[in-house]
Amino acid sequence: MSDLTSAGTAVGGGPVGGDGPVPNQPATGGKERSASLWADARRQLMRDPVFVIAFLYILVVGSMAAFPWLWTSQDPRDCNTNRSRLSPSAEHLFGTDILGCDYYAHAIYGARPSMVIALMATVAIVVVGGLLGLLAGYHGGWVDTIISRVMDIFFSLPFLLGAIVFLTVIKRQNIWTISLVLFLLAWPTIARIIRGSVISSKDLDYVHAAKAVGARNSRVMFRHILPNAIAPMLVYATIVLGSFVAAEATLTFLGVGLQPPAQSWGIMISAHQVYFLEDPWLLLFPCGLLVGTVLSFILMGDALRDALDPKFR
Amino acid sequence: MSSDVNVKLDALPGADPNALPLQVKDLHVEFRTRNGIAHAVNGVSFDLRAGETRAILGESGCGKSVTAQAIMGILDSPPGFVTGGEILYRGVDLLKLPESERRKVRANRIAMIFQDALSALNPVFTVGFQLAELFRKHRGMSRQDAKARAVELLDLVKIPAAKQRVNDYPHQFSGGMRQRVMIAMALALDPEVLIADEPTTALDVTVQAQIMALLAELQRERNMGLVLITHDMGVVADVADRISVMYAGRVIEEAGVNDIYASPAHPYTKGLLESIPRLDLKGQELSAIKGLPPALTNIPPGCAFNPRCRYAQEVCRKDPAPPLYQVSPSRTAACHFWKEVKGDE
Amino acid sequence: MGRYVIRRLLQFIPTVLGTMFLLHYITSLAIQFSGNPVRALFGDRTPPPALLQAITERLGYGDPCLDRRGDPCLWRAAEGGGGWLGTGYEPGLFFDRLSGVFFHFDFGVNLRERAVTDLVADAIPFTFKLLLIAIVFEAVVGIAAGVWAGLRGGSFADNLVKISTVFIISVPIFVLGVVVREFVGVKFGNVLRGQDWIPDLISVGVFTPGFKPDYPFASLIIPGMVLGAVSLATTARLTRTSIMENIRADYVRTAKAKGLTNKRVIGVHTLRNSLIPVITFLGVDIGAAMAGAVVTETIFNVPGIGRLVTMSARTGESSVVIGVVTMLVLVVLLANLLVDLLYAVLDPRIRYE
């Protein structure tokens, strides 16, 4: 899927560099350094209007997904074919769809599956991909060789094709299976990013210092190396949330994702595409929401990268 | 190499064959960056005679490379702009020439050698292509003739097996050989002035000597003017005729090489000389110039060197900056107290 | 050069086998956990067991390992003992599929027992044309926009390209496709079709909401541009960054010092280096574009490979989906290999590693 590849190229993925602290206080130094980095980043982000707008937009969409009843009192399943395809009005903000259901309610409830799928798949790739990347980068040797080879193989399977095959054969196309296939096919990207930043931060002086004073492997890994890998991971995870929202909608549109009567933006678009000429809002509302969400995630990721990478200061 | 390459070169309109090959007068260059305007070159002047070697000496960031780039007309612009002065080639102000005329001066009359030959040679073309390109574009030669000339050039700079190596890529050469390729490229069109920007900095000491010897030999053969930009006082002493010492974008002392080494007239030059380890002073502590050169966006008023200078007095901390005092008929120094500096050894 | 090629070719074999296994394993797992996919073809009806059995065997879902959850289907118990090297096992379903693909060019059959290779052969000319239009479009426009922006870093042109590419990247290709089809193909097309003086090739052929057999090339132009749009944005951004990096490079300064014309400094010395990563991306993108063709062909009703995949997926003809995707994946892998070799041709530093 091109969305995913483009998100991948959009991520610098470099580690967050900077001078190590003086070697006689290795245990606290790494933390202080990253604390100031995060504080700086937060200040810069709060001043960035693009980030703030994108963030607010995601908050809105997130609250639609979490608490749809805050946004609408109507039930999207309360349909009446007598009022099929009404134009937007005070009563029906987005009008009604082909089956006479309130389109606004459908749009609000439609946020949930996209967001839940994107969130579950992203958490899964961050945990699994992050862990495998950490292992490969930190241990090197045959562990690295095996994990890297496996990643290469996953990379050569185009995302969309793999997802279509899996979802066609499994026949159960629900939130779980879609999240599962997104996770299965996307974890290597994040593993590769983490692996890269671990390898480059492994050789920093303060990591050697921590080892020299006898810190345990797990301590070195989680206190000194992981913090360096978190910035690029966070950037990528933000962007990939957007890619997953787009991917879910794409799969649904193709007919291998969520199936009606589930509510989702992808279903809204695919069910109403032919009514565009007479009732363009049926297409434009869900498209607008979807594109806004994807765009917000990508813009947030871009802003995060600029804020977290000292090179851009 | 024969000089028939120059036959097809049209004369530059207005050029006076009896004028100096290169004269820089009161050159000013600034860089307009987001963090303010950096005054990289602030009134640099010097002359260059045919066959003469002029060293421009200074620490990194003092504006010596920028001066070279301004002479060649290859400043990155923006952010770099020449804001004043003249650069005269045989009496013609290059700064007033249209770009199409100026372009013909490059490589034909004034050529340049860069510091790091690995990054200065294009990695995706063979050295033969990059040499032959000069003959093809400036002399209209066929590919075949140009290639033959490229081989001759590699021979000239003493690269063994030139016929085979002409088809190699830059990364296949060693550092010293690569720098020879750079020299060959600069000399291809038989220029009258050669600007060498730290030509040996990236090389091993033994290779440095070979390269400098080669440069000196070729310069003598062709009676070419050489502007040698360096921070290495040792290199300068061996090959230079005259020296311009630069600090914070200004020439602060200008003199013949023997005068400078015998009795520097500016505290900065003096500091540079004292920081060279010397065998006869073995066991004594080396003296270094304290502090750092100023940021070019924020040059102190008065003499730019005053915060680091042990001779500095109130007059040095106030504008205007010290003028160039005539120390002797053939040398100048921009220090109010040049007499004390020169005399107290 | 030779050693590089050989090394790359040797790496290619395990990658192909690994990718084939990955594809095989996720399909096997899906079958093992959700049951015989053939049942889906009958919907709510219960098929006669004999018929179900026959179709299952025909489509290659008969192997007992597909009933055991988690079994990678690598080996099966040999009939009558013995087996491979006396282990009692012989190569299983995975190896059957491999030998089918590589020795018999057999990618399975559909319900009517037409070979997937035949189906693909019918569909491939359309997909090929579509890809060609997409790649040419994204290469020409993307590189031009990237060079334009890169040479004027920080200017209006630069910002325009930077911002518009973020927007294009954010629009899922199917949204773009549907909106373009409706706005350009239908609405704008209707206006054009109302004008007598506009030739049919333009009004009916190019500005069409879907593929028209009468205009096999013209009616693919808009779908191709939609397909290339997202990668166009990436191409433009990549070119832009690459140009901006190289324009300040020392060797570009050398080229200027050689007194070459600006045209030659940029066109030969800057561009040649800057385009290496771009061309690599375009090569790799052939794979992504093939996946994207699934979406575009579905939207614009192009009877190519992509629509074949979607249609089969919608009707539950999983054997066709598996076969076509396997074939596409092999093409993608081959494209990646060619890109790597091309990279060596373009960049001498790699070649002589």
Say yes or no for a CB contact (<8 Å) between A153 and C314.
no
Contacts of A254 in chain C (CB under 8 A): 174, 294-295, 298, 310, 313
CB B243 within 8 A of CB B55: yes
Residues 6+ apart with CB under 8 A from B213: none
Among the partner residues C254, C259, C273, nearest to B104 by beta-carbon distance = C259
Domain with residues C116-346, CATH architecture = Orthogonal Bundle (1.10)
- Average pLDDT score over chain B: 83
Q: What is the pLDDT of residues B266-276, one digit of tens each?
A: 888 888 888 77
CB contact B127 to C (< 8 Å): no
Q: What is the pLDDT of residues B220-265, one digit of tens each?
A: 888 888 999 988 887 788 788 899 999 888 888 888 888 888 888 8
> Quick one: average pLDDT of C160-179?
86
Say yes or no for a CB contact (<8 Å) between B72 and C257.
yes
Query: How confident is the model at residue C227, as a pLDDT?
Result: 92
ipTM of the complex: 0.84
Say yes or no for a CB contact (<8 Å) between C172 and A246.
yes
Query: How confident is the model at residue A311, as a pLDDT?
Result: 54
Residue C105 has pLDDT above 70, yes or no: yes
Q: How far is CA B53 from the centre of its chain?
A: 10
Query: How confident is the model at residue C342, as a pLDDT?
Result: 84
Q: Which CATH number applies to B22-240: 3.30.70.20, 3.90.550.10, 3.30.70.1350, 3.40.50.300?
A: 3.40.50.300
pLDDT class of C140 with cuts at 50, 70, 90 = very high
> Quick one: average pLDDT of B167-188?
88
Q: How far apart are CA A154 and CA A150, in angstroms?
A: 6
Looking at the complex, report in whole angstroms how far the Cα of residue C80 sits from the nearest Cα belonging to chain A: 33
Q: What is the pLDDT of residues C239-281, one digit of tens each?
A: 998 988 888 888 998 998 888 888 888 888 888 888 888 988 8
Q: How far apart are CA B246 and CA B278, in angstroms?
A: 23
Query: How confident is the model at residue A22, as a pLDDT?
Result: 34
Classified as helix, coil or strand, A102 is strand
Per DSSP, what are the bridge partners of residue B88? Answer: B23, B93
Query: C69: burial class by Cβ within 10 Å (0-12, 13-18, 19+)?
Result: exposed
The pTM score is: 0.79
What SS3 string covers A131-147?
A: HHHHHHHHHCHHHHHHH
Looking at the complex, report in whole angstroms how far the Cα of residue C6 sits from the nearest Cα belonging to chain B: 21
Segment of B53-57, B101-105, C37-41 carrying the highest mean pLDDT: B53-57
For chain C, the chains sharing at least 3 beta-carbon pairs closer than 8 angstroms are: A, B
Among the partner residues A2, A10, A184, nearest to C173 by beta-carbon distance = A2
> Quick one: average pLDDT of B91-117?
86
Establish whether the linkage from the previous residue to B267 is cis, with ω within 30° of 0: no
> Quick one: average pLDDT of C75-100?
75
Spans in chain A with pLDDT lower than 50: 1-31, 312-313
Among the partner residues B106, B119, B120, nearest to C259 by beta-carbon distance = B106
Greatest pairwise CA separation for chain B in angstroms: 67
Q: Are chains B and A in touch, 3+ Cβ pairs below 8 Å?
A: no
Interface test with C, best of A157, A177, A241, A277 (most C CBs within 10 A): A157
Say yes or no for a CB contact (<8 Å) between A269 and C175.
yes
Give how far Cα C186 sits from Cα of A207, A241, B34, C182, C314, Å: 62, 33, 49, 5, 26
Looking at the complex, report in whole angstroms how far the Cα of residue C37 sits from the nearest Cα belonging to chain A: 6
> Quick one: average pLDDT of B11-15?
72
Contacts of C348 in chain B (CB under 8 A): 123-124, 169, 171
Window 144-203 of A, Cβ < 8 Å to C? 149-150, 152-154, 156-162, 164-172, 184
Domain with residues A37-73+95-312, CATH architecture = Orthogonal Bundle (1.10)
Query: How confident is the model at residue A179, as a pLDDT?
Result: 93
Looking at the complex, report in whole angstroms how far the Cα of residue C342 sits from the nearest Cα belonging to chain B: 14
DSSP A158: -
Give how far Cα B11 sits from Cα of A150, A183, B6, C236, Å: 67, 71, 10, 44
Query: How confident is the model at residue A7, as a pLDDT?
Result: 36
Query: How confident is the model at residue B1, as a pLDDT?
Result: 42
Among the partner residues A170, A280, A291, nearest to C175 by beta-carbon distance = A291
Q: What percent of chain A has pLDDT over 90?
A: 17
What SS3 string covers chain C?
A: CHHHHHHHHHHHHHHHHHHHHHHHHHHHHHHHHHCCHHHHHHCCCCCCHHHHHHHHHHCCCCCHHHHCCCCCCCEEECCCCCCHHHCCEEECHHHHHHHHHHHHCCCCECCCCCEHHHHHHHHHHHHHHHHHHHHHHHHHHHHHHHHHHHHCCCCHHHHHHHHHHHHHHHCCHHHHHHHHHHHHHHHHHHHHHCCCCCCHHHHHHHCCCCCCCCCCCHHHHHHHHHHHHHHHHHHHHHHHHHHHHHHCCHHHHHHHHCCCCHHHHHHHHHHHHHHHHHHHHHHHHHHHHHHHHHHHHHHHCCCCHHHHHHHHHHHCCHHHHHHHHHHHHHHHHHHHHHHHHHHHHHCHHHHCC
Hey, what amino acid is at A33? R
Contacts of B138 in chain C (CB under 8 A): 259
For chain A, the chains sharing at least 3 beta-carbon pairs closer than 8 angstroms are: C
Give the neighbor-by-neighbor strand order of the sheet with B36-48: B36-48, B22-33, B80-89, B92-93
Contacts of C285 in chain A (CB under 8 A): 2, 5
Say yes or no for a CB contact (<8 Å) between A169 and C321.
yes
Say yes or no for a CB contact (<8 Å) between A156 and C288.
no
Hey, what amino acid is at B65? S
Residue C134 has pLDDT above 90, yes or no: yes
Residues 6+ apart with CB under 8 A from C156: none
Query: How confident is the model at residue C276, as a pLDDT?
Result: 87
Query: How confident is the model at residue C339, as a pLDDT?
Result: 84
Say yes or no for a CB contact (<8 Å) between C312 and A168.
yes
Sign of CA dihedral B245, B248, B251, B252: negative
Among the partner residues B103, B114, B124, nearest to C259 by beta-carbon distance = B103
Query: How confident is the model at residue A55, as a pLDDT?
Result: 92
Say yes or no for a CB contact (<8 Å) between A156 and C15.
yes
Among the partner residues B99, B122, B134, nearest to C269 by beta-carbon distance = B122
Say yes or no for a CB contact (<8 Å) between C251 and B123.
yes
Hey, what amino acid is at A95? G
Say yes or no for a CB contact (<8 Å) between A291 and C171.
yes
Contacts of A168 in chain C (CB under 8 A): 312-313, 316, 318, 321
Say yes or no for a CB contact (<8 Å) between C313 and A295.
no
Residue C45 has pLDDT above 80, yes or no: no
